[in-house]
Amino acid sequence: MPANVVVPEVGESIVDARVAKWLKKEGDAVNVGEPLVELETDKIDLEVAAPQGGVLSKISHGDGADVKVGEVLGVIEEGSAAASARASTAQPPSPAVAPSAATADGGPKLDAAAKTRATPAARNVAQQNDVDLRKVQGSGDAGRVMRRDVEALATKPTPAARVPEPVSRPEGERREERVRMSKRRATIARRLVEAQSTAAMLTTFNEIDMSAVQAVRERHKQAFKERHGIGLGLTSFFVKATVGALREFPRINAEIQGDEMVLKHYYDIGIAVGASEGLVVPVLRDADRLSFAQIEAKVREFAKAADEGTLSLADLKGGTFTITNGGVFGSLFSTPILNPPQVGILGLHAIKDRPMAVGGQVVIRPLMYAALTYDHRIVDGAEAVQFLVRVKQLVEDPGALLIE
C-alpha cells in the first residue's frame, strides 16, 4: 500500500519549509526510517525519513520548492523484487540539473556526492569551496558530514600550492548574480523589518571597564578548566549581570500583548550566535539558576550546534531578553535590533585598551562599549539607562555577582 511522505509538524511557530535537497530520486529503493529529503525552515534544518520500506515512486516537490506543514513531498510504494527491478530502470527527475549536464559532468560522480550524508550547511560550504563531499570524513552521527568537516578540508593547504594570479575584470563587464534567500535569511529579513515598524526602538550606551573581569578570569581560568572541563569566558559574567539588572527593572523582561504588559518573573536569556545562514538565538532556560560553568558549557554547546545546523526548535523557542556580542567579529559600536516580542536586547562589543581618568590620573584600561536597545512603549528612558548602569556596576565588580 502506498505511503505518503509529508512535511512533518516541527512546532507551532513553523508552518512552512523549503526542500533543501532530496537524498533519493524517483525509482530508488528505500528502507523504513532512512533519510529521504532535507528540509530547511526559518529556525532549523531537518531530515524527513521514509515512513515505510519500498520504492520512492514519486517526488511531488523538487529541490528548492516551498511547502507547507502536512503537504505531500512524495510517495513510497511497498517494495518487492519486481518493484526494485522497475526502480532500477526508472528515469529519475532532475529539478536542478538537466540529464545532459549531469552526464557531461560525470553522472556517477554527482550521484555519489548526492548520496553522501551531509547537513545542508555542509553542502553549501562544499559547493562554495568546490569540495567533493565523497572525500570528506564525517564527524557527525553515523558519519554524517558536518560544516566543520568541509571547512577543515577546504582550508587545508595543498602541497606546492601556487597563489593564483589576480583576474582582472574585463573592460565594460558589470556582472551580477542572483542568489535566492534561504528560508532562514528571508525570515530574518522579515522579522527585522517588523521589529522596526512595530516597536518604538531606542538605544542607550555606556562604557564598561573590563579590568576586574579579566583579572578574575586570569586568576581562576586554570582551576576552572580543571574542575569543569571548560574555559571561563565573558558570556557567563554578562548573563549573571543581566539577570541581576532584570530583577531590579522587570519591565525590561516583559512583552506587550494588546494593551497589557506581561511581566515575566523567570529569566530565559537568548544568546545570539552566528550561523552560516544567519543569526540564530538559542535560549538559556532559567538562567538565574545556572552556575558560571553551566552557562559556559551551554553556550559552547549552542555554538557547536549552530555551526553544524543541529539546533532544535526547543533550543530556539521563547526567550525573555537577548544578549548579542558583535565584539567577537570586531565590532566596536553598534545599535542592536530587538528580537520581538522581547522589549530589550543588550549589545556587547570589542574590548579595546583606551585611556580613562581614574582618581585624577590618566590610565589605560580595557574598555567595552555596551548598548541597550529597548521598546520605549513600555520602558522609560531613565529605566533603560539605570538598567545598563546596573549591568556595568555588576560586571565591574564581579564579587557583587555572588551576592546577586
Over residues 230-255, the pLDDT tens digits come to 999 999 999 999 999 999 999 999 99
Q: How many CB atoms lie within 10 A of CB 77?
A: 17
CATH number of the domain to which 133 belongs: 4.10.320.10
The 3-state DSSP class for residue 402 equals helix
Q: Is 175 within a domain?
A: no
∠ CA 223-224-229, rounded to 5°:
110
Based on the fold, state whether residues 283 and 381 are members of the same structural domain. Answer: yes
| Co-location of 231 and 141 in the same domain | no
CATH number of the domain residue 278 falls in: 3.30.559.10
DSSP code of 167? P
Q: For residue 50, give the C-alpha cell.
A: 521514509
Tell whether 113 is covered by a domain: yes
Q: What predicted TM-score, i.e. pTM, was given to this entire model?
A: 0.69
For residues 78 and 384, the model is more confident at 384
Number of domains the chain contains? 3
Same domain, 360 and 306: yes
pLDDT at 98: 34
* 19 and 120 both lie in a single domain: no
CATH number for 59? 2.40.50.100
CA distances from 76 to 55, 89, 94 (A): 5, 16, 18
Which pLDDT value is given to residue 96?
Answer: 37
Asked if residue 103 belongs to a domain, the reply is no
Catalytic residue among 66, 105, 286, 380, which? 380
User: Is residue 172 included in any domain, yes or no?
Assistant: no
In 226-274, at which residue ranges do the beta strands (DSSP E only) sit?
254-257, 260-263, 269-271
Written as nine digits, the cell of 115 is 548520496
| 262 in a structural domain | yes
Clarify whether residues 37 and 145 are in a common domain: no
| Residue 176 forms part of a structural domain | no
The count of residues in the chain is 404
Same domain, 42 and 80: yes
Distance between CA 212 and CA 217 in Å, rounded? Answer: 9
Same domain, 343 and 373: yes
Asked whether 140 and 308 are in contact (CB, 8 A), the reply is yes
Note if 61 is an active site residue.
no
Does residue 81 sit in the same domain as residue 136? no
Question: Residue 109: pLDDT above 60?
Answer: no
Average pLDDT of 141-146? 73
Say yes or no: 23 and 149 in one domain: no
| Co-location of 65 and 118 in the same domain | no
Is residue 281 a part of any domain in this protein?
Answer: yes
| pLDDT above 50 for 106 | no
Residue 376 known to be catalytic: yes
Asked whether residue 68 carries a pLDDT value surpassing 60, the answer given is yes
Angle between helix axes 147-154 and 120-128 (nearest 10 degrees) is 20
Q: Tell me if 184 is assigned to some domain.
A: no
Is 229 in the same domain as 353?
Answer: yes
Quote the pLDDT of residue 373: 97
| Structural domain containing residue 143 | 108-155
φ/ψ (deg, to 5) at 84: -65, -35
**How confident is the model over 287-311, as pLDDT tens digits?**
999 999 999 999 999 988 888 778 8
* 213 and 330 assigned to the same domain: yes
